[in-house]
Structure formats: structure tokens, C-alpha cells
Structure 1
Amino acid sequence: MMDREGKVLSVRLERSSGLRGLDNEIIALPKRASPPVFATKCLDWLRHRIRRAVKFLWPSAEIARANEKMFRGGTQ
């Protein structure tokens, strides 16, 4: 299981290979592969930039109504 930042929270082995050392290594591998801290900070920055772009491109309903009224010449 992973969290939203990509950090591995838990690992479960479905079927044993029959070799304890190999099974232990298979369980440890995903935890070592968790993204480094800088990658999660980059993702946070990217999410922030996307939110700002969405707010700019899709204004609130109130702003949309005001713009619509302005384009219609002030009458409704």
C-alpha cells in the first residue's frame, strides 16, 4: 500500500518462493524504492501550480456571471 506522496506504507507477500532470504529481500525492495524527499516536494510544487492554473482558467461562478453580464453590455 502507498500513500498519496508515493511512500510505501505496507508490503505483503502473496506466495513464498521457498527461500526465506529471497522472500525477505522481496518484501524490503518496495520500501527502498520509495521516492526520495525531493521528489515529493516537486510533486507538492506541481500540485500547487496546477491548482493556481485551474483557478485562473476556471473562475468562480460569481466572476463568470460578472463577465457574462459585461459581455452582454450590462443587461440581462
Structure 2
Amino acid sequence: MKPEDLEQLLNTPMPFGKHQGTMIADLPANYLHWFAREGFPKGHIGQLLQLMHEIDHNGLHGLLAPLRRS
């Protein structure tokens, strides 16, 4: 993980699916868990979804709070 990845979670919209247009940082936990069970997409979006799942699963939403304020 690179520091800019956290910022990308806040600024990258989900490009497809049920939550298309929602910023990755704002995706519901159950959607992230579904990807964890079924498999993350390949490429950069998949990496961001996996990172967001880890943040959500481990209760680390506080990492994003300072970036939301700026």
C-alpha cells in the first residue's frame, strides 16, 4: 500500500455493478465482503477494493478521516 492509495479510495468511483458511481471508500461492507468471498477484480480497481475491504474488516476507517477533512 502506498499513501496515495488511501486518497484514491476517497476519489475513485466504483466503475461498475450495483454501486456504480459510489466512491470506493463509501461502499457498503457487505459489498466488500462479497468481493472477498467471490474474488476481487483484476487490476487497480481490484487492489483498491481489496485495500478497502482490509480497512473495513479491521476497523481502520480512522485512516481515512484526516483525508476526508482536507
TM-score, L = length of structure 2: 0.25
Higher relative contact order (CA 8 A, sep 6+): 2
- TM score, norm. by length of structure 1: 0.24
The structure that is helix-richer by fraction is 2
